[in-house]
Structure 1
Amino acid sequence: MSTAPSEADAATAPVASPFEQLGGEGGVRALVERFYDLMDLEPGYAELRATHGSTLDSARDKLFWFLCGWLGGPDHYQSRFGHPRLRARHLPFAIGILERDQWVACMDQAMGEVGVPQALRERLNESFMGTADWMRNR
């Protein structure tokens, strides 16, 4: 008798959430840390960095909390702040095409550097671009 999973078993097996594929909270935290490190260090993200305050500590935590829930893990952000209301919360910041493109490029670079699997990286890039474009307010 074979112990290998059957095709039916494979078809009904739960698909790992993006949160799980990234390695849970540790993987999401590593992604967020690299994202903000790159934003702070790379001249190509200067305009994006300028939209943030003098410190990135609060932004790091908020993006980590948000992404955990958005990717299918614990809803840390909502438990602290309620519904994300992303567009409303970002209205005070000038977000144009340049800032949108730098955000997405910075996140893509961070995903590449922390080893996000290519298929997930492509899927997330598409979602990030759609959301970042929706956030534009100038």
Structure 2
Amino acid sequence: MNTETNTDNHEEEQSRLYALIGGADKLREMVDRFYDLMELEPEFAGIRALHPTPMDGSRDKLFWFLSGWMGGPNLYIEQFGHPRLRARHLPYAIASSERDQWLRCMAWAMQDVGIAEELQQHLMQSFYQTADWMRNKPG
């Protein structure tokens, strides 16, 4: 198996995600809806409590991160360097409940802004892997 080809295929897939989702405008809409739901819906109180008030900085950071992660401009890396996601989230208690709230909130946001079903499923698989890896507390 040629790992260079696999890496190239992964990078091509990631760059396609940015275009498939609709670029910066649609990605921003999705991220904003995600944070709106977090503030509005009681079922997301657990993850809301982990964020500062106001959440403008959190909104921007997720948008910047996802832009680069999806193959668009590397806005987060340009400002902060490597994301080091797990290290940056270690100060926050993240168990299965917080993981599941984050995933449910993101799924809802994608549905609300009209992300294609097939793309939602693909993104949720990737989001699950990352969100599960972020858990740092039992339960």
Q: Give yes or no for TM over 0.5.
A: yes
Q: Tell me the alpha carbon deviations over residues 67-117 of structure 1, each in whole angstroms, 9 at most, x when there is no partner.
A: 000011000000000000000010111111100000000000000000000
Q: Give % identity.
A: 54
CA distance in 1, matches of 2:21, 2:122: 13
Q: Tell me the alpha carbon deviations over residues 47-74 of structure 1, each in whole angstroms, 9 at most, x when there is no partner.
A: 0101111211110000000000001100
Task: Provide the residue aligned with 1:116 in structure 2.
Answer: 115
| TM-score for both structures, normalised by structure 2 | 0.87
Task: Provide the residue aligned with 1:30 in structure 2.
Answer: 29
Can you give the 5+ residue segments of structure 2 that lack an aligned partner in the other structure?
1-11
CA distance in 2, matches of 1:135, 1:119: 25
Can you give the 5+ residue segments of structure 1 that lack an aligned partner in the other structure?
1-13
CA distance in 1, matches of 2:26, 2:112: 12
Q: Tell me the alpha carbon deviations over residues 21-67 of structure 1, each in whole angstroms, 9 at most, x when there is no partner.
A: 11110011000000000000001101010111121111000000000
Task: Provide the residue aligned with 1:71 in structure 2.
Answer: 70
Task: Provide the residue aligned with 1:84 in structure 2.
Answer: 83
CA distance in 1, matches of 2:109, 2:77: 24
Task: Provide the residue aligned with 2:53 in structure 1.
Answer: 54
| TM-score for both structures, normalised by structure 1 | 0.88
What is the RMSD of the two structures over their aligned residues, measured on CA atoms?
A: 1.3
CA distance in 2, matches of 1:129, 1:55: 26
Task: Provide the residue aligned with 1:132 in structure 2.
Answer: 131
Q: Which has the higher helix share?
A: 2
The aligned amino acid for 2:110 is: M
Aligned residue pairs total 125
Task: Provide the residue aligned with 1:11 in structure 2.
Answer: none
Rg larger in structure: 1
